[in-house]
Chains A and B, each alone.
Chain A
Amino acid sequence: MSLPLLTRTNSADARFVLTPRVRALGPSVAERMPGRVPGAGEQYRFHFDMGRCIGCKSCVVACNEQNGNPAAINWRRVDEIEGGWFPNTTRAYLSMGCNHCVDPTCLSGCPVDAYTKDAATGIVRHSADTCIGCQYCTWNCSYGVPQYNPERGVVGKCDMCHGRLEHGQAPACVAACPEGAIAIEIVKTADWRAAVAAAVPGLGVAVSDGSLSTTRVTMPATLPPNSRPLHLTNVRPAEPHWPLVVMTVLTQLSVGAFASIWLLQLLGGSAHLGAAALTALLVAGLALNASTLHLGRPIHAYRALKMWKRSWLSREVLLFTMFSGVAALYSAVLWFDVPGGVILGGLTSTIGIAGVTASACIYRVVSRPAWNTPYTLLQFNVTAAVLGPLLAAAVNATLGAGIGEGAGAGVGDDLGGNVGDASVRWLALAAAAMAGAQLVLIALRFFRLIAAGRIELQGTARLLSTTLRPHFVVRGVLLALGGIVLPLLAQGALLLWAALVVALAGEIVGRYLFFVSVVPKHMATPYLELGSEAA
């Protein structure tokens, strides 16, 4: 069709001609397929035309029907962005399946090697048989692509309808899009890598991390300067992951306790280090058992050790397994008062701290902006430094008092008792100091969230200030009470145990908040960043 011609205008006034926005003809499904298989150094990829999408979400429905997935799992998702001012408002939609990255982080982070990058097509595939349901990939993917299916106990993800491509059929989303906005293309990966590295304008790639997404997005011709992700529709608390709450806090408690015991030993030792060590060992055992409950397939937990060369989750499992082994030896040495404990203690503490660090590294992921900060590592270690000394102090105080009362006044005055009292005092003071540090960290993190420009961090701040405010207040009070007030007042075993329990409760609530207050990265954010860079 040509422009509307002013065929019947009898005045010479032609200023009313409006140039229509060019509306390209929607390609047929066949035109949205590459028509050949990738050659050497090439792979399939998605192309998404944002200017064409009307946000009807047919692709999401078609994907779920294609894969027989329950409604809560969407391997293809649609997010909205809005910009401009009424009435010059623009909304755009981003439909995303898997980006079939060149160097996928789901693959590199997987502890069991459940992911493969198909050599012929470049499609990133996932094996449900291999997967143990640890869900690390659901965080480690910067685009939120893999999704956990609780019914199956394993993760699943978009495989570009690998089976359909194999049979010469268009993927379900490509075939279903009434606007022809989704297509499959072939890309030469080396060229793509070079173009992205050189930041060639107009590539339409979201650079979230080093994974090198292959999806090409054609952005609308114009996007207003104030374009932003539209209402994070679901600013609601995320999954609490209770087994992980328990596991992380208890491993940190155990590591902190062993480190305290070792330091006491170095400084001249208390009489009851063996008992304290056994208690801490028990805690570590509890923690490791709790961790398997997080797995969709706990029976295959051992597989998690496999990929320690590249997966932080494998490393965490490996380090904590080694930690408990060495810690058991150390405990035995202390209990039976065999020499050589100092070296074992140093080893236990070092491996333990490495384990806590590995834990923290798991949460340093682009897809969860509220986790992806130095606070995560700091706070995990400070949790160890608050709870560990308290446990050591409480055990010491209990046994010290017990021996004193049981054996009469004369024995109570001996050197061991005095050393014990002094150690307890120092441990309590150390815990209080660390709890103070933890309070400062909490406050700093919260102010950083409030001041953040990113909507995801604002969302976390908003959750902590509204829905989760009671929990957040309780978390602070428990920490102050159990970590500072009670240890400073503590004169006896009972109060120290109370301090430990209260502080532990505080850290558990804190860790619960860590998990539930996280707001996943809005899918379209990287594209807007791209837009602003280009502009």
Chain B
Amino acid sequence: MSIRSLLGLDTRAERYTYGLDPVAGYVSTQKIPDRWVATTCGYCSVGCGMFVGVKDGRAVSVRGNPDHPVNRGNLCPKGLSEHHTIDASNRARQPLLKRDGRFTPIGWDTALTTMAEAFRRVQAEHGPDSVGVISTGQLVTEEFYALGKLVQLGLGTRSFDGNTTLCMSTAVAGYKGSFGSDGPPGAYEDLERADVILLIGANIADNHPILCRRLQANPGTTLIVVDPRVTKTAMMADLHLPIRPRADLALLNGLIHIIIERGLVDHDYVDRHTTGFDALKESVREYTPARVAETTGLDPGLLYETAAIYSTANAAFIAWTMGVNHSTKGTETVNAINNLALITGNIGRAGAAPFSITGQCNAMGTREAGFASSLPGYRKFESAEDREALAGIWNVPVERVPAARGLAYPDIIEAALERRIRALWIIATNPVVSFPNLGALTQALEGLDFLVVQDGFHPTPTSEFADLVLPAAIWGEKEGTYTNSERRVSKVNRAVEPPGEARPDFNIFLDVASALGVKEELFPGWSVPRDAFEEWKRVSAGRLCDYSGMTYEVIEEQGGIQWPYPAGATDPAATRRLYTDGVFQTADGRARLIPVTWEPFPEQPTGEFPLVLNTGRTVEHWHTRTKTANVPILERLSPHAWAEMNPRDARGLHLKAQDSVDIVSRRGRIRDIELRVTETVAPGQIFVPFHYAEANANQVTQSAFDPVSREPNYKQSAVRVERSCPSGGLGASLWRRSERP
């Protein structure tokens, strides 16, 4: 501090002046940009349109796009402060190679050669699939498409998956099973047009607040929320069903049982557009209201009421998120949701859809561009016809196109543990915070011969393990498209230059292709994301996710276009829904009603671990906080993790609000976390947000995965809560001792 400011002669008044921006209005001068760059928010899958304000080459402000059909100018607190992520102090700025345990800056050329040599060496010794690649839903579709091609055709490994397996793969698997293809059938507009909305395991008030606004625009709807916690969303509901943890599948089967028993089935729809009704009817026979009431902890009357409200609606909408997906029975639960929608004909109409609200900004793009759970354009690995079509477009021999899916994310980690995978390339994701059962993961990472972490940030808990760190551009520094939950393809634009030597992921992929000697074969003449987009349009042409009628320019003009938008399509502003004709992507064109069975969750509470741990999110933070921990205002609003416990349990454990506690499972311990005592969680359960590396919830979660989608069962871990070792000195320990009975 200068003498002048110590004396009070200088109040830094120049920093606190205001001026008039022609668009944003009267605002702090610091925030007035030279120009506004239109783009799409890079956090969640709602896909809000926004502008980034750029001043002297720096992103200084953002504002919602008032004309964007998704958000009409609104942004959540993360979006409103998103420009701060770009200036974060922990941005990765140059390639780093670990030598003798220390990161040393190296040039890009050395980095790329080192990486290509290391991967080729490992593959030569241990086979092509011994190099694993874990990507992300954070990339633009162009990048994801290029990466898939590079990995599957160039690097030649099938050990390729993304962090989308930690959030959305269950929805993918469920949709594929029921409808023959991935692709959420509804649109956000359905939230405004449904007369019944059933939210299952979805706390949209915290996690998708801009969608919440749609509910307000639909005052007459009946909102039913199924959640074991009294979330902010549950509090908005007309009817909250506080089911026991993981009783969702039993509830859905129970509702179907009542609907069939009461003759509320839309037989016309079922007969014309589905198969398997008899088997479904048989399978739900045992899900009597009495039994389901016992499993879910709900009153049988509530079950009847819910079944009646849902099945008699003119248009009923079901949306779900992680409460359903993070489960070993997730895929089956999605099938049950689809069953419920199908037997009541609530699909393919305005206001009626079983709708998965996606997680990341471009999780949907990764699903379309594929290469992990399916081939690009929702093509099937097992279909020779699909493979030939792709080989034709790419001008490669059909044998180069993989004929079976490789390892999924958890299986890649397991293979690394078993040393079947020796090298790993992790792109824009942070498994050391986000992957379940941390101990197993770190053991896997430590056992690798070579780990490349490509990220916009360094250090991150994951990049610390890396042998090579590749600095990447992030949102705001690169161009491409994102697809949101309602299949709306929106444009993402570069507002500022990446810091230091960081490069857009797209350029890094092309550079790696060059280093591997496959650039000209796979990406002939490519230099910008538009090159990938043009090829992707051809790949998607004629598929469910048809982009062939889109151009960057029209996407931008319209605030995004929902697919399918085939060549020749004329109205980009139209709201699109899938399956409006009742024809599905199965061989016979009929949706499949799939009998599914409820089972108790795998790790039941015991005397030693008597509580059920549920994990989730808070509105201020995104994923593992690599971004939001560097946004000062978000850190200010939610600076540390906490555990929520019902007062009855707290009394039993002689714990009080603000006590520091440890959460212990069979696998590990979350240390020193603040206890919050609240009636929003049921007795016998606790809740911890999963964002915080310092109080990593995945130290206690389990290695249990859905058999189809391979998504982790993050929820329902058996734990106990202990008072943390006193850290407040003698006085505190005396006090704590005296508190004990």
Q: List chain A positions with a Cβ less than 8 A from chain B.
A: 1-11, 13, 16, 18-26, 52, 54-58, 60-62, 64-68, 70-72, 74, 82, 84-87, 89-91, 128-129, 132-133, 151-154, 156, 161, 163-164, 166-167, 169, 172, 176, 178-180, 230-232, 235, 295-300, 462, 465-467, 469-470, 473
Instruction: Count B interface residues, CB 8 Å.
Output: 91
Among residues of A, the one whose C-beta sits closest to the C-beta of B20 is: A167
Nearest-Cβ distance from residue B16 to partner chain A, whole angstroms = 6
* Chain B residues, CB < 8 A from A58: 74-77, 80, 209
A87 near B242: Cβ-Cβ < 8 Å: yes
User: Is B138 among interface residues, defined by CB-CB distance under 8 A?
Assistant: no
* Chain A residues, CB < 8 A from B454: none
Give bound CA distance, A84 to B195, whole Å: 28
Give bound CA distance, A74 to B632, whole Å: 12
User: Is B28 among interface residues, defined by CB-CB distance under 8 A?
Assistant: yes
Give bound CA distance, A164 to B20, whole Å: 9
B26 near A167: Cβ-Cβ < 8 Å: yes
Given contacts A20-B220, A178-B213, contact A56 B76 (CB under 8 A): yes
User: Is B232 among interface residues, defined by CB-CB distance under 8 A?
Assistant: yes
Nearest-Cβ distance from residue A130 to partner chain B, whole angstroms = 11
Pick the most buried of A19, A20, A166, A299: most chain B CB atoms within 10 A of its CB. A20
* Chain A residues, CB < 8 A from B76: 56, 58, 178
Among residues of B, the one whose C-beta sits closest to the C-beta of A156 is: B16
Q: List chain B positions with a Cβ less than 8 A from chain A.
A: 5-9, 11-13, 15-16, 18, 20, 25-31, 61, 74-77, 80-81, 193, 195-196, 205-206, 209-210, 212-213, 215-223, 230, 232, 234-236, 238-240, 242, 262-264, 266, 304-305, 308-309, 311-314, 619-620, 632-637, 646, 657-658, 676-683, 728-732, 734-735
Given contacts A26-B216, A71-B636, A87-B682, contact A57 B77 (CB under 8 A): yes
A8 near B311: Cβ-Cβ < 8 Å: yes
Give bound CA distance, A86 to B680, whole Å: 6
A67 near B680: Cβ-Cβ < 8 Å: no
**21 chain-A/chain-B pairs, Cβ below 8 angstroms:** A3-B220, A4-B312, A8-B311, A9-B264, A9-B308, A11-B262, A18-B222, A20-B223, A26-B213, A26-B216, A56-B76, A58-B76, A65-B61, A68-B15, A86-B242, A89-B680, A180-B216, A230-B676, A230-B678, A235-B658, A298-B7
A70 near B16: Cβ-Cβ < 8 Å: no
Pick the most buried of B27, B635, B734: most chain A CB atoms within 10 A of its CB. B27
Nearest-Cβ distance from residue B252 to partner chain A, whole angstroms = 18
B314 near A470: Cβ-Cβ < 8 Å: no
A7 near B312: Cβ-Cβ < 8 Å: yes
Give bound CA distance, A54 to B31, whole Å: 27
Given contacts A8-B311, A54-B205, A56-B77, contact A166 B619 (CB under 8 A): no
* Chain A residues, CB < 8 A from B314: 4-5, 7
* Chain A residues, CB < 8 A from B633: 60-61, 64, 71
Residue in contact with B680 in the complex, picked from A82, A152, A473, CB distance below 8 Å: A82
Give bound CA distance, A469 to B209, whole Å: 42
Give bound CA distance, A74 to B81, whole Å: 14
Give bound CA distance, A8 to B345, whole Å: 12
Give bound CA distance, A91 to B205, whole Å: 12
A57 near B681: Cβ-Cβ < 8 Å: no
* Chain B residues, CB < 8 A from A72: 636
* Chain A residues, CB < 8 A from B61: 65
The 3 closest A-B pairs by CB, nearest first: A297-B8, A1-B220, A68-B28
B196 near A4: Cβ-Cβ < 8 Å: yes
Give bound CA distance, A166 to B27, whole Å: 12
Among residues of A, the one whose C-beta sits closest to the C-beta of B80 is: A61
B5 near A153: Cβ-Cβ < 8 Å: yes
Give bound CA distance, A61 to B76, whole Å: 9
Nearest-Cβ distance from residue A475 to partner chain B, whole angstroms = 12
B230 near A9: Cβ-Cβ < 8 Å: no
Among residues of B, the one whose C-beta sits closest to the C-beta of A64 is: B633
Nearest-Cβ distance from residue B313 to partner chain A, whole angstroms = 4
* Chain A residues, CB < 8 A from B9: 297, 299
Given contacts A66-B28, A85-B679, A179-B216, contact A467 B312 (CB under 8 A): no
Among residues of A, the one whose C-beta sits closest to the C-beta of B637 is: A57
Among residues of B, the one whose C-beta sits closest to the C-beta of A132 is: B8
Give bound CA distance, A20 to B213, whole Å: 17
Nearest-Cβ distance from residue A505 to partner chain B, whole angstroms = 18
Among residues of A, the one whose C-beta sits closest to the C-beta of B344 is: A8
B80 near A23: Cβ-Cβ < 8 Å: no
* Chain B residues, CB < 8 A from A1: 193, 195, 218-221
Give bound CA distance, A462 to B658, whole Å: 10
* Chain B residues, CB < 8 A from A470: 729-731
Residue in contact with A71 in the complex, picked from B15, B30, B635, B658, CB distance below 8 Å: B635
Residue in contact with A23 in the complex, picked from B219, B266, B676, CB distance below 8 Å: B219
* Chain A residues, CB < 8 A from B206: 56
Give bound CA distance, A87 to B684, whole Å: 13
B312 near A67: Cβ-Cβ < 8 Å: no
Nearest-Cβ distance from residue B84 to partner chain A, whole angstroms = 9
Nearest-Cβ distance from residue B202 to partner chain A, whole angstroms = 14
Give bound CA distance, A85 to B658, whole Å: 20
* Chain A residues, CB < 8 A from B676: 230-231
B680 near A91: Cβ-Cβ < 8 Å: yes
B240 near A56: Cβ-Cβ < 8 Å: no
A8 near B312: Cβ-Cβ < 8 Å: yes
Give bound CA distance, A81 to B218, whole Å: 26
Given contacts A9-B264, A56-B209, A167-B26, contact A133 B8 (CB under 8 A): yes
A469 near B732: Cβ-Cβ < 8 Å: yes
Nearest-Cβ distance from residue A291 to partner chain B, whole angstroms = 14
* Chain A residues, CB < 8 A from B13: 128-129, 152
* Chain B residues, CB < 8 A from A2: 195, 220
A163 near B80: Cβ-Cβ < 8 Å: no
Given contacts A54-B209, A89-B680, A230-B678, contact A23 B235 (CB under 8 A): no
Pick the most buried of A8, A16, A72, A178: most chain B CB atoms within 10 A of its CB. A178
B8 near A298: Cβ-Cβ < 8 Å: yes
Nearest-Cβ distance from residue B48 to partner chain A, whole angstroms = 10
* Chain A residues, CB < 8 A from B12: 151-152
Give bound CA distance, A295 to B29, whole Å: 27
* Chain A residues, CB < 8 A from B305: 16, 18
Among residues of A, the one whose C-beta sits closest to the C-beta of B17 is: A68
* Chain A residues, CB < 8 A from B25: 164, 167, 169
Nearest-Cβ distance from residue A12 to partner chain B, whole angstroms = 12
Give bound CA distance, A156 to B235, whole Å: 36
Given contacts A56-B205, A178-B74, A295-B8, contact A90 B238 (CB under 8 A): no
* Chain A residues, CB < 8 A from B312: 4-9, 16
* Chain A residues, CB < 8 A from B217: 25-26
* Chain B residues, CB < 8 A from A4: 195-196, 222, 309, 312-314
Give bound CA distance, A264 to B244, whole Å: 78
* Chain B residues, CB < 8 A from A9: 264, 308, 312
Given contacts A169-B26, A297-B11, 16 further A-B contacts (CB under 8 A): A4-B195, A4-B313, A5-B312, A10-B263, A16-B309, A20-B221, A56-B76, A65-B27, A65-B28, A68-B30, A71-B632, A86-B682, A87-B242, A153-B8, A153-B11, A298-B6
A24 near B11: Cβ-Cβ < 8 Å: no
Nearest-Cβ distance from residue B671 to partner chain A, whole angstroms = 19
A164 near B26: Cβ-Cβ < 8 Å: yes
* Chain A residues, CB < 8 A from B230: 86-87, 89
* Chain B residues, CB < 8 A from A231: 657-658, 676-678
Given contacts A4-B195, A61-B81, contact A91 B235 (CB under 8 A): yes
Given contacts A16-B309, A70-B632, A153-B5, contact A56 B619 (CB under 8 A): yes
B26 near A6: Cβ-Cβ < 8 Å: no
* Chain A residues, CB < 8 A from B81: 61, 65
Nearest-Cβ distance from residue B587 to partner chain A, whole angstroms = 31
A23 near B218: Cβ-Cβ < 8 Å: yes
Pick the most buried of A4, A18, A132, A166: most chain B CB atoms within 10 A of its CB. A4
Among residues of A, the one whose C-beta sits closest to the C-beta of B644 is: A231
Given contacts A22-B219, A60-B637, contact A54 B658 (CB under 8 A): no
